[in-house]
Amino acid sequence: MRGIKASDIAALCQGRLVGPDLELKGLSGLKEAQPGFLSFLSDPKYAPSLPGTQASCIIVPQGTAAAGKTLIECRDPYLGFAKAAQLFYRESNPRPKPGINPAAAVSPGARIDPSATIGPYAVIEAGAEIGPNTVVMGPSFIGASVKIGSDCLIYPNASVREECLLGNGVIIHCGAVVGSDGFGYAREGAKYIKIPQTGNVILEDEVEIGANSTIDRGALGPTRIKRGTKLDNLCHIAHNVVIGEDGAIAALSGIAGSTIIGDRLIMGGKVGVIGHLEIGDDVICLAYSGVTKSTPSKTMLYGNPARPHMKGKRIDAAVDMLPEKLKVISDLEKRVAQLEEKLGIKHGEE
């Protein structure tokens, strides 16, 4: 991989270069970095590592000083690092050559753009459409009548089932399943009768689905994840859920059927959301929350059952005090009993 100049990184990050321009060969943490590498400082708790780092260039908050180092001052160093990382990644991981691998199983009825790449043992069924510059690594499965836009990346062992729609720039990681059947059954006596899931899944532009996550198809209409939303690994999105734009959902979270969520959701790990709720824009669900009620916009939820954050913390604080308060109540009951005995009052009498 060729080196990348610090000045080019500074321009990409909209930062200010302080010190000599250098050619950098990779990224590393402050403690692990060797000469010739780029690092970053975004969390003040890592500032003590700054004087001793061997990194040749560091992305730092504005106004940071480090003698003998080339610095890139950024308003948001973490965002600057993310942009720099993309630049290094593109240099070290060029896109594979376009074309269909001879070991792939591609239906004659599929339409593959000439600039797309289909890897070995990938399966592309009839009516599927693969857009420009999209990469489908093998062995992945693309079902009948699936439509995938441009510049998408489908990693090995991912499955996109029939009639699902993917926009541009979508990334699906290993083992993810898009368009599995929703969990829909009717009871007949002691038996369950399966309800065919005839909808699909729509992933809009720049959606990313983590490894081994599952997105169920709608029972009738679509399950939809809107532009720019990111799912971590091991998430589950049930049938007919709608998630708004620019959301972020951490690992092991699950959203039950027909829940509608607004834009810019932030959801911590192991959050559970029951079905048929309406959740507004800019909602934050802290880790381990159990969401059981519809929630207005700009709310931070905490706990199980989830409550507004400060109320939940106050309840937790009160619960933590219960052993001490129960002891106080027990002592008071003993003193009252002693006083009643001294006064000759039978317990319960006035």
Q: Which residues make beta-bridge pairs with 208?
A: 171, 230
Residue 141's identity, in one-letter code, is: F
The amino acid sitting at 203 is L
- Distance, in Å, from the CA atom of 170 to the CA atom of 7, rounded to the nearest integer, reads 30
How far, CA to CA in Å, does 76 sit from each of 40, 41, 72, 86, 312? 11, 10, 11, 16, 31
Q: Give kind and range of the element (H or E) at residue 3.
A: none
Catalytic residue among 173, 236, 239, 309: 239
Q: Tell me which amino acid residue 90 is.
A: R
CA distances, 172 to each of 49, 95, 175, 213, 225 (Å): 36, 16, 9, 9, 13
Is residue 276 flagged as an active site residue?
no
Cβ contact 243:227 at 8 Å: no
- Residues annotated as catalytic are 239
